[in-house]
Amino acid sequence: EAGVVQSPRYKIIEKKQPVAFWCNPISGHNTLYWYLQNLGQGPELLIRYENEEAVDDSQLPKDRFSAERLKGVDSTLKIQPAELGDSAVYLCASSPGRGGTEAFFGQGTRLTVV
């Protein structure tokens, strides 16, 4: 069974440019998470989806970040425009459903804004 797939693995962009990250969760997993991880820190939740519904986006900086999960499967996280402080690793994870289950993580996308 394929794991959580993220692309691209690495992205370097100039500040003020847009960028998008893509995530394909494990088949059948209803819950999808986007996390941001700064160097030497733990992942911080940006948004969580239950199927196609964003049930918690309270930590998502909505002035520049947006996310969607069409048809409750793949998801895209977008930043427009990117700032220097957005340089980090963006992790996608999925889990089968609510309560008492583990999250499966993708390899992440390392974003560098120059």
Q: Name the residues that contact other proteins, by CB under 8 A.
A: 4, 31, 33, 35, 40-45, 48, 50, 55-56, 59, 91, 93, 98-100, 102-108
Neighbours of 13 (CB within 10 A): 17
- Cα separation, 18 vs 44, in Å, equals 21
Nearer to other proteins, 81 or 104 (CB): 104
DSSP state of 85: G
- Our measurement of the distance from residue 70's CA atom to the centroid of its chain's CA atoms, rounded to an integer in Å, reads 14
Nearer to other proteins, 5 or 81 (CB): 5
Nearer to other proteins, 45 or 81 (CB): 45
